[in-house]
């Protein structure tokens, strides 16, 4: 692309490719030598429109582009100079762009692929990365049938795959290749996107649903038949380690203590669970200890507070509903004989506990049942046991 009079390249020009319906399918900033390359998504008739500051726009075409064909068109554009016009003062508000995202915006301007930027991701208000990927037209997100199955090592709650993979047997999972800040980290089957990444730290996403569209910088072994997804974080120092995850849940619970004499005091409380690694969690809970009415004569009643701190592991994998672990429980109690009797005194207790439980993932809600054995290794006979049932809600 050159100036008509001087024959010099127009370095600030923009070239765009339009299909028969007048929809722009590709766009590129013209290079320093005046050349440009536009990619058509499919065979058909196209027009090229060229614009440059201080010049009139020009349209070239129609051009007939065949399937998997390369058409080289050499055109000297006859652009007429437009007299400058004085405009009112303009105020432009912008935000800094990370230097390493320059390639992302260049590929976005070419118009091949699906692209999401920070503002679009924020509008989704996503809890997890797969919530964002649902907005990519070329990819589908569906529940993972293997999630939570005992013995499986698949920790993904949701599966990401190309909607229309080429050459793949229907019904077969086709996970795209995943790139984090330009580095290949595996396929969407190997790299659990929801466990490793937080959508609040993502700056941009670009996705390509087949090998014909994948740029050379995202081409790896296998040809990318299932596509590629490149995720750019706001801070490239965010770890891509497959062991670290960031999830948290809060919940309410109720329970009771079972002693050698039967049912004792009840519990009402709140809990917080944080997932530190793929199969390692931390539990913190506080309970109000309450009296339980029993029909048989005067019994010892206790009321007060209980605090529980424990670690939990899922021995069958992160997706398993079963968990267990050690912890500590501290109690501050007031004791009395009968509901109407005067308090006999207060006491503080500290116990080692061994807990085990089951939580069932139902979307963001997780019902659970849990048992805490107090000092199971330090006393003879069956230890006092706290039994809990409740519901927790995943925050992120």
CATH number of the domain that residue 215 is part of = 2.170.130.10
Q: Rounded to an integer, what distance in angstroms lies between the CA atom of residue 109 and that of residue 28?
A: 6
Residue 20 belongs to some domain of the structure: yes
Taking residues 110-131, report their average pLDDT.
Answer: 87
Question: Do residues 389 and 249 share a domain?
Answer: yes
What CATH number did the domain enclosing 9 receive? 2.60.40.10
Question: Do residues 59 and 163 share a domain?
Answer: no
- Residue 122's pLDDT band, with cuts at 50, 70 and 90, is confident
What CATH number did the domain enclosing 321 receive? 2.40.160.20
pLDDT value, residue 13? 79
Taking residues 109-118, report their average pLDDT.
Answer: 89
pLDDT value, residue 297? 46
Percent of the chain with pLDDT over 70: 81
Taking residues 76-90, report their average pLDDT.
Answer: 67
Closest CA to 232 of 140, 127, 105: 105
Contact 58, 16 (CB under 8 A): no
Could you tell me the residue range of the domain that residue 332 belongs to? 244-394
Query: Residue 279's CB: how many other CB atoms inside 10 A?
Result: 19
pLDDT value, residue 240? 43
Contact 269, 285 (CB under 8 A): yes
Q: Rounded to an integer, what distance in angstroms lies between the CA atom of residue 247 and that of residue 275?
A: 5
Contact 26, 17 (CB under 8 A): yes
Question: Do residues 40 and 170 share a domain?
Answer: no
Tell me the three state secondary structure of residue 249. Answer: strand
DSSP H helices, the chain, are 102-110, 118-124, 129-133, 193-196
What is the separation, in whole angstroms, between the first and last Cα of the chain?
Answer: 51
Residue 75 belongs to some domain of the structure: yes
The alpha carbon of residue 292 and the mean position of all alpha carbons in its chain are separated, in whole angstroms, by 44
Which of 59, 85, 111 represents a domain boundary (last residue)? 85
Q: Rounded to an integer, what distance in angstroms lies between the CA atom of residue 371 and that of residue 342?
A: 32
Contact 253, 388 (CB under 8 A): yes
Taking residues 121-147, report their average pLDDT.
Answer: 86
- Residue 235's pLDDT band, with cuts at 50, 70 and 90, is low
- Residue 245's pLDDT band, with cuts at 50, 70 and 90, is very low
Query: Residue 214's CB: how many other CB atoms inside 10 A?
Result: 23
Taking residues 143-150, report their average pLDDT.
Answer: 81
Question: Do residues 184 and 276 share a domain?
Answer: no
224: left (phi over 0), alpha (psi -120 to 50) or beta: left
pLDDT at 310 over 90: yes
pLDDT value, residue 242? 42
Residue 238 belongs to some domain of the structure: no
Residue 376 belongs to some domain of the structure: yes
pLDDT at 329 over 80: yes
246-288 residue pLDDT tens:
578 899 999 988 887 777 788 999 999 988 765 788 999 999 9
Mean pLDDT of the residues in the chain: 80
Question: Do residues 148 and 206 share a domain?
Answer: yes
pLDDT at 76 over 60: yes
Question: Do residues 342 and 284 share a domain?
Answer: yes
Question: Do residues 258 and 349 share a domain?
Answer: yes
Q: Rounded to an integer, what distance in angstroms lies between the CA atom of residue 394 and that of residue 396?
A: 6
pLDDT at 354 over 90: yes
Alpha-carbon distances of 238 from 103, 196, 201, 231, 332, rounded to whole Å: 20, 10, 8, 12, 42
Taking residues 284-311, report their average pLDDT.
Answer: 78
Question: Do residues 117 and 70 share a domain?
Answer: no
168 or 309, higher pLDDT? 309
Which of 183, 206, 233 represents a domain boundary (last residue)? 233
Q: Rounded to an integer, what distance in angstroms lies between the CA atom of residue 120 and that of residue 198?
A: 15
Question: Do residues 313 and 375 share a domain?
Answer: yes
Question: Do residues 387 and 249 share a domain?
Answer: yes
165-198 residue pLDDT tens:
655 656 677 889 999 988 888 888 888 888 888 8
Contact 185, 238 (CB under 8 A): no
Residue 115 belongs to some domain of the structure: yes
Residue 64 belongs to some domain of the structure: yes
Total domains, the chain: 3
Percent of the chain with pLDDT over 90: 22
69 or 268, higher pLDDT? 268
Question: Do residues 278 and 203 share a domain?
Answer: no
pLDDT at 367 over 50: yes
pLDDT value, residue 27? 80
Which of 85, 119, 138 represents a domain boundary (last residue)? 85
Can you tell me which residue has the tokens 């659990």? Answer: 192
Residue 91 belongs to some domain of the structure: no
198-229 residue pLDDT tens:
888 889 999 998 788 888 888 876 667 888 99
- Residue 231's pLDDT band, with cuts at 50, 70 and 90, is very high
Question: Do residues 204 and 314 share a domain?
Answer: no
Residue 161 belongs to some domain of the structure: yes
């Amino acid at each position: 692309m050159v100036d008509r009079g001087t024959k010099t390249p127009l370095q600030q020009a923009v070239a765009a490719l339009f299909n028969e319906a007048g929809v722009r399918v590709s766009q590129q900033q013209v290079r320093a030598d005046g050349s440009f390359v536009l990619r058509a998504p499919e065979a058909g008739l196209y027009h090229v429109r060229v614009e440059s500051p201080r010049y009139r726009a020009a349209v070239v075409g129609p051009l007939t582009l065949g399937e998997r064909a390369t058409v080289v068109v050499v055109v000297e554009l006859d652009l007429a100079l437009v007299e400058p016009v004085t405009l009112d003062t303009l105020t432009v508000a912008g935000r800094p762009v990370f230097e390493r995202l320059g390639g992302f915006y260049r590929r976005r301007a070419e118009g091949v692929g699906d692209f999401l930027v920070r503002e679009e991701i924020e509008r989704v208000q996503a809890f997890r990365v797969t919530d964002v990927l649902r907005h990519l037209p070329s990819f589908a997100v569906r529940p993972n049938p293997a999630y939570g199955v005992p013995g499986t090592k698949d920790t993904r709650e949701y599966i990401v795959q190309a909607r229309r993979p080429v050459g793949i047997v229907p019904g077969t999972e086709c996970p795209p290749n995943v790139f984090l800040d330009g580095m290949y980290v595996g396929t969407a089957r190997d790299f659990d996107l929801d466990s490793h990444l937080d959508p609040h730290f993502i700056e941009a996403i670009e996705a390509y649903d087949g090998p014909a569209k994948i740029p050379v910088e995202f081409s790896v072994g296998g040809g990318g038949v299932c596509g590629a997804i490149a995720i750019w974080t706001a801070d490239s120092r965010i770890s891509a380690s497959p062991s670290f995850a960031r999830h948290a849940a809060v919940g309410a619970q109720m329970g009771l203590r079972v002693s050698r004499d039967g049912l004792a005091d009840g519990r009402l409380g709140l809990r917080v669970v944080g997932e530190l690694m793929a199969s390692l969690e931390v539990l913190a809970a506080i309970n109000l200890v309450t009296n339980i009415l029993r029909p048989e004569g005067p019994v010892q009643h206790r009321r007060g507070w209980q605090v529980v701190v424990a670690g939990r592991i899922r021995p069958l994998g992160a997706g398993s509903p079963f968990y267990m672990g050690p912890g500590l429980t501290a109690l501050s109690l007031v004791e009395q004989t009968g509901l109407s009797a005067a308090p006999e005194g207060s006491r503080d207790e500290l116990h080692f506990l061994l807990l085990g439980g089951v939580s069932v993932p139902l979307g963001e809600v997780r019902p659970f049942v849990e048992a805490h054995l107090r000092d199971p290794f330090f006393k003879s006979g069956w230890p006092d046991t706290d039994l809990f049932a409740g519901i927790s809600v995943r925050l992120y």
